Structure 1
């Protein structure tokens, strides 16, 4: 069997004293790296430089049979109008890199001339490091802990452990997981350490089954996940679990890879399935649909966890390396990239893509010159309710939800207690800029700090007070046709940033941009005073079932009764 002997991390740091290949006395160098006949990567082009700096890292899984192979680094000068010019190359035997755990060295760049003489063309600075099996596996288990833990001591509490085991195998019942937690907690301190987790997976029959589920029966998946973690983003565990966004997506840990939410597409008239990656669905159910999970939602530690995850994910999707998630995300969710205003290569990170702008023609506004027609504030899954009481009967199951708790203002709430409600839920794949639903003037905006519970229906239809506990911003819109309308932007798990682009006193038209959410799912609530709006009948019919209606920003949701 051709076993893996280690991971070779290569960092192409820089080059110096390159020859001038262009008329301006400079070069536009870049590097292609080959392992045997396979191209491993192409570096960034550094314009107009003879001493370029790349700091390009790449991890390579090395098998026993490949130790006698070489790595070839070919340097080229990029030309816009003609064929790229070959500068020279560096060839390094892999076995020499394995002789030293860490090697930092300058290598001469050479080019074979027609007379077989070798000419030096500058130097290439390469840093290499070997990661052994012990290091890779230790990093793997630490990463698993880090992925699911919110504590600072690198351990898993009961809630963390439930989420982990459920994400690996959804067939385990809550009592089974609780019992397994106590068996795994060898020192009985109420938490699971890295060594205790390793012991569970490596030394028990249950652990063996969990490992097979986690790795889909392929132990090399640990190596592959590690190899994809050339930088702090993504972590090994991210590569294992984030199946909707990484190239490990084909390694499903369940025979049921996705869960679906049924929505009615208003544009096509058909029912559609909104897919949720399986690991997300089981984690949501572990948190919101189990007795332990629901009780945990009131635990300050769990609320701290959700804030931690939100901040962690926000940082994860703002690093430059996250741009590589854009194309897989588009493919997974079948997004129409032709609608996007800016070129895909203009986004500096995934989050910039997430709150992308669309071409104005892609979202026409319903009857733009008729101010008596209200429109959808977002691309979303929409519910409308003639009364808030009706919404609580059919959709909002939070036991302590009130208009006052939502708005954080008793006097303001008294004006909307008998009013109408729009719930616009944005899934992660949706366009995440939100827009004004009615003509009018922007009033004051009140930010309300809060939690980061998910806005997924799994949680909304449990006894979790999501809307009135989550972070949110309440904006007043003064409309001649609809009276005062409240626009409530609600953040959620993975959405820590609510950004408004309007200002108080600004005259606005329906369809104008009001703001945007950073990465994740999120929700907009619109509150209308009693007897000010008649919702479109198809939306009312679906909401009474209750089924969400998939709509686009700018489409009609109702007309004024004033």
Structure 2
């Protein structure tokens, strides 16, 4: 695969109020630009203190080793040399924190930079107007998030805190003279953790108690009892409290905490109360959702106690939640009492430093001398030199040998040091890293002495120490740990433990097992896909059992006969009796269904049912450059076909040519993107068009009836190239040529197209339906014609499917929006 070709474009537009270096009261200014080993020069503008250059230079970036600084030096051209007029150094890390970095993006506007003097005795004045941005010649319309991700990948960044920039337009009369609406002032930056996949803070939650829970029938079914526990689910994190025996008003007082990503701030916490049963399934008693967005907004507006070491319980807000009761005893007004707060990452980091300072303030006088600071830094594996630590004191005009630092002053210095680390890397096992000096490396917690911190991320280390710093260290042992993957798993008992030991049935996000875990894109919750027990066992034995030979002729005939037989069974009128149990088992929304349930003559008619028009709407209905999901499905997306085969499609013989049944067709999609949209039996089974364009004549490819379960896709069998399928092409003005492949699967009787070939189709127009069973739609795109949404790509990189609905925004065209 070729390395990406990225260009850094630098525009030197004009200067204002430059210094006069010649006797005539003028200068002949030009700019020299230095980046890496390259040097560029603008033209000389004669006799002008307000020159207009309008010069542009392109620097080819090395993705493996991009340069991070650009130096601009202004000169006055003379006959026998030149005079120094000042300079500007732009640090690209600081520049792009919080800015739109794509050159063609509308929000990337020119910025004024004041010239400064790096030479003694040289008087300089004025400022220069610059525009800097990245360009991908093959895709000129990447958005801010996509460019920022590319920049982070180039520089292998994890969590990055920026220090205040030095080149700030001063609040002077000169600076205020420039008020062009097309110019953005070079603003002061602050520490930021606002990017999509970075931690913005931590939720602290206490499950206090529940009141007036409805009694459930006991195991004898003759009396009533309640042994409640709570399952807390948020995004990919799930927790469970202890069981309180025989209590309708249980008190837990159990605490938990979890980090919040930028992409998760609009999600809600799900709290579910279950009744524990020793011999039967646990019963869902009641549940409620709690939105965290108001907490985040409120926390961002105040930092009342920034430099005060807070207890975990400080500023916790008590909330009384009215529970939705799921039992038949609706007369009970069940409530769940919780305490909750959100702590922004910046505040949590401050607590980290304050906790350390408190531990190493040996005489407890609230200030730190040099020895105390050096001892504290040694405890966290720091290799800062004596000279560096001394600058902490001199920054505030203090003598490192005689004076003390206030806690607040120390925190400011440590934060500044973090900001100076352009690429913050963890140290290795010996506490060493590539830089000569590093600030932090912890093998154990300096407060509770808990081991294995070296295996945690920086965020988790900060969280751990901040919690340990609470006034009562014994509280740490009361924190619930998130050992569960989904709510479904958390409410189970010993069966889960047995399964995890047997293999293939164990729970792990992205794991290759028959217990399929997906993330609901609407709520962020992890969901275990429901399937009958015999189906799960059959998949496990078929694809992962010892000596399994799934591509044998016998296996193919068996699966084909099963699928045909099942299809005929669900065509019989008697199969209509299975509709209501199916709806109940999968908890389907009956209100979405277009036709009454009693109108379906058999189960298959219900299976490929139509929905009410308002049940599935198209995102961005006026913008055909937006790619939408073609189905209610579990989705995987990959920027290239190669990445799909590395992470997900493990079939030894898989190829695009085999998938399409034609080598010539396959050439159109070399290096292109691939999307997989897997429909489970409980999904709405009509599929739609994700783009607009001219529809081709479809063609069928006969094949087998293997399941499209992830375990099968990640086996050695080429499921997509073996199964029965129908291929169509769409010639889209926005997306180019798109291949639309409908793939049948185990228990799928037929693939029926309802669309009309050789017509111009629109997004969300119906393309067809699958009869009973699992099935898949695969989309292929030509190289450079589209981009998947970042959250879906992030899940795919961890082999986690994303649950999406028909019409949901999943990508976009790289063709410019007219």
* TM-score, length basis structure 1: 0.54
Distance 1:328 1:276 in 2: 13
1:378 aligned onto 2:643:
no
Aligned partner of 2:600 in structure 1 is 347
Q: Tell me by how many angstroms 1:290 deviates.
A: 2.0
Once residues 510 and 427 of structure 1 are traced to their aligned partners in structure 2, the CA distance between those partners, rounded to angstroms, is: 22
Candidates 663, 673, 676, aligned match of 1:410: 663
- How far residue 497 of structure 1 moved from its aligned partner, in angstroms, is 0.2
1:490 corresponds to: 743
Partner Cα separation in structure 2 for residue 475 and residue 378 of structure 1: 16
Q: Which structure: larger Rg?
A: 2
- What is aligned with 1:387? 640
Q: CA deviation at 1:506?
A: 1.6
Distance in 2 (CA, whole Å) between partners of 1:344 and 1:260 is: 30
Deviations 1:87-130 (A, max 9, x none): xxxxxxxxxxxxxxxxxxxxxxxxxxxxxxxxxxxxxxxxxxxx
Q: Distance in 1 between matches of 2:543 and 2:710?
A: 10
The alpha-carbon deviation at position 291 of structure 1 amounts to: 3.6
Gaps of 5+ in 2: 1-494, 500-504, 506-513
Pairing 1:433–2:683 present: no
> For the residues of structure 2 that align with 1:394 and 1:313, how far apart are their CA atoms?
33
- Give me the whole-angstrom Cα distance separating, in 1, the residues matched to 2:791 and 2:617: 20
Deviation at 1:279, TM superposition (A): 1.1
- Which whole-Å CA distance do the structure 2 matches of 1:276 and 1:289 have between them? 18
The structural deviation recorded for 1:318 is 0.5
Alignment match, 1:184 = none
Q: Quick one: which of 786, 790, 794 aligns to 1:533?
A: 786
- CA drift of 1:272 comes to 1.3
Shift of 1:281: 1.1
Q: 2-side partners of 1:406 and 1:489: how far apart?
A: 11
Q: CA deviation at 1:278?
A: 1.7
Task: Return the alpha-carbon distance in structure 2 between the equivalents of residues 496 and 466 of structure 1.
Answer: 17
Match of 1:270 in 2: 525
Q: Secondary structure at the match of 1:331?
A: helix
What do the CA deviations read for 1:143-191 (whole angstroms, capped 9, x no partner)?
A: xxxxxxxxxxxxxxxxxxxxxxxxxxxxxxxxxxxxxxxxxxxxxxxxx
Tell me how far 1:369 sits from its aligned partner. Answer: 1.1
Residue by residue over 1:244-269, the C-alpha shift from the partner in whole angstroms, topping out at 9 and shown as x without a partner, is: xxxxxxxx9x997x963111100111
Q: Distance in 2 between matches of 1:307 and 1:261?
A: 24
- Residues 208-259 of structure 1: per-residue CA shift (max 9 Å, x gap): xxxxxxxxxxxxxxxxxxxxxxxxxxxxxxxxxxxxxxxxxxxx9x997x96
Q: Which string of whole-angstrom CA distances, capped at 9 and with x for unpartnered residues, describes residues 509-542 of structure 1?
A: 1011000000000000000000000111111111
- Residue pairs, 1:165-204, within 5 angstroms: none
Residue of structure 1 equivalent to 2:611: 358
Matched with 1:285 is 540
Distance in 1 between the 2:564 and 2:532 partners? 21
The aligned residue for residue 481 of structure 1 is 734
In proportion to residue count, which structure has more helix? 1
Distance in 2 between the 1:521 and 1:464 partners? 17
Moved over 3 A (4+): none
State the partner residue of 1:298: 551
Distance in 2 separating the partners of 1:255 and 1:541: 31
**Aligned-pair Cα RMSD in Å:** 1.7
Counterpart of 1:542? Answer: 795
The aligned length equals 308
- Residues 543-552 or 279-288, more deviating: 279-288
How far apart, CA to CA, are the structure 2 residues paired with 1:539 and 1:334? 25
SS in structure 2 at match of 1:526: strand
Q: List alignment gaps of at least 5 residues for structure 1.
A: 1-251
Report the secondary structure of 2:651's partner residue: coil
Superposition deviation, residue 328 in structure 1: 0.2
Secondary structure at the counterpart of residue 325 of structure 1: helix
Q: Secondary structure of 2:547's match?
A: helix
Residues 304-333 of structure 1 deviation map (CA, whole Å, 9 limit, x = unaligned) = 111101100000101000000000000000
Partner of 1:514: 767
Query: 1:292 offset after TM fit, Å?
Result: 2.2
SS in 1 for 2:516: strand
Q: Which residue of 1 aligns with 2:587?
A: 334
Selected match of 2:566 from 283, 303, 313: 313
Aligned to 2:527, what secondary structure does the other structure show? strand
What is the rounded CA distance, in whole Å, between the counterparts of 2:807 and 2:675 in structure 1?
A: 14
**Structure with more contact order per residue of length (Cα contacts < 8 Å, sep ≥ 6):** 1
Question: Alignment partner of 1:431: what SS?
Answer: coil
Q: CA deviation at 1:548?
A: 0.3
CA distance in 1: counterparts of 2:730 and 2:628, whole angstroms: 14
**Whole-Å separation in 1 of the counterparts to 2:679 and 2:592:** 18
Whole-angstrom CA distance in 2 between matches of 1:418 and 1:511: 27
Query: What's the secondary structure of 1:489's corresponding residue?
Result: strand
State the distance in 1 between where 2:683 and 2:551 align: 30
Question: Which residue in 2 is equivalent to 1:86?
Answer: none
Task: Give, in whole Å, the separation in 2 of the partners of 1:540 and 1:278.
Answer: 31
Match of 2:711 in 1: 458
The CA distance in 1 between the partners of 2:540 and 2:751, in whole Å, is 26
